[in-house]
Amino acid sequence: MALIDDVRAYVPTCEQERADRALILERLERDPLVACREALAHLTASAWCVDPAGERTLLCYHNIYDSWSWVGGHADGELDLAAVAARELAEETGVAGARLVVAGPGAIASLETLTVDGHERRGRYVASHLHLNVTYAFVADPGAPLRAKPDENQAVRWVALGDVCKLSSEPWMCERVYAKLIARTRELAAAGLLGA
């Protein structure tokens, strides 16, 4: 199915997802540049990577946000956002070959609209904008080698689910995104979809 069909078929888990799903659909329907960074609100994909037992997730210390966070990146014209998330996971952490978990229609695990404050990136100012984010769940071997991507993050490590919000310095992300993904991870583990 096309991305727009997957987003339409996705069943929101909370009010935040209902509101953000509506915005993502509106932009997919109306903005032909929605997959490009030039759009004020543009598509991004995130990878929520967990171990096979669903007890730990892979976080990086993000340079721009100055916080431990998930991994992800811009669509840059690509509408196969699961592939974008897998690519970003490999690029930002060194983890290659992680298994995509079919968590919902099109394997979507969650939806969110993320505000991005203006910032400097590679010597250029980037104006404030919105990320229309689609999150995918992946399973990877916690024993696989990790590496940071210095132009984006300072460190990469596996973190117990219960410690994610202790490490993150972003209260909104903890309350609205990470708490939701931790609950989702536990559901997927209980359903036997993570492989432990």
Q: State pLDDT tens for residues 3-22.
A: 999 999 999 999 999 999 99
Averaged over 118-128, what is the pLDDT? 76
* 1 has pLDDT over 90: no
* pTM listed for this prediction: 0.94
Mean pLDDT across the chain: 94
| Res 196: pLDDT | 60
Asked whether 196 and 101 are in contact (CB, 8 A), the reply is no
| Res 120: pLDDT | 74
pLDDT, greater one: 173 or 123:
173
Averaged over 111-131, what is the pLDDT? 83
Token pair of 187 as six digits: 């559901």
Q: Report how far apart the first and last C-alpha atoms of the chain are (Å, whole number).
A: 29
Dihedral, CA of residue 83, residue 88, residue 89 and residue 94, to nearest 10: 120
* DSSP-H helix ranges across 73-178: 81-93, 164-167, 171-172
Closest CA to 178 of 81, 50, 21, 82: 50
Strand partners, 48: 137
| Res 128: pLDDT | 83
* DSSP-H helix ranges across the chain: 3-9, 15-30, 81-93, 164-167, 171-172, 179-190
DSSP assignment, residue 122?
A: T
Radius of gyration in angstroms for the set of CA atoms belonging to the chain, rounded to a whole number: 16
Averaged over 37-53, what is the pLDDT? 95
| Res 54: pLDDT | 97
